[in-house]
Amino acid sequence: MIALVARFTAREGSETEVAWRIGALGKLVRSDPGTVQFRAFQDRDDARRFVVWEQYEDESAFREHIAMPHVVTFNGLLPPLIEEPSSVLEFLGEI
């Protein structure tokens, strides 16, 4: 099992577009083979902050995920909309 959290902060004024794009991406990713869970969250106190919880069956499923056309497109559109150069990924190990 691969589990990770992706974090990013929308640039001022981009919150709505980022929320829409991550919501649309989630609908597609949840249908992808090997995806166990893909859930996006927006911070209640700071609408510019987003967190995405992701789980994939294994390393192969994660690699297939990041190569999917809709993920490649999303990752290409995201940088001008967020403060970080890209999503900050935090890979997690189950205990």
List CB contacts of 45: < 8 A, sequence separation 6 or more: none
**Angle of helix 69-77 relative to helix 59-67, nearest 10 degrees?**
60
Structural domain boundaries, residue 46: 2-92
pLDDT in tens, 38-62: 999 999 999 999 999 999 999 999 9
Could you tell me if 85 and 11 are in contact, meaning their C-beta atoms sit under 8 angstroms apart? Answer: no
Q: What's the CATH code of the domain at 74? A: 3.30.70.100
pTM of the model: 0.93
Tell me what pLDDT residue 68 has.
98
**In whole angstroms, what is the distance from residue 33 CA to residue 29 CA?**
9
Amino acid at 59: E
CA distance 79 to 50: 14
Number of independent structural domains in the chain:
1
CA distance 19 to 42: 8
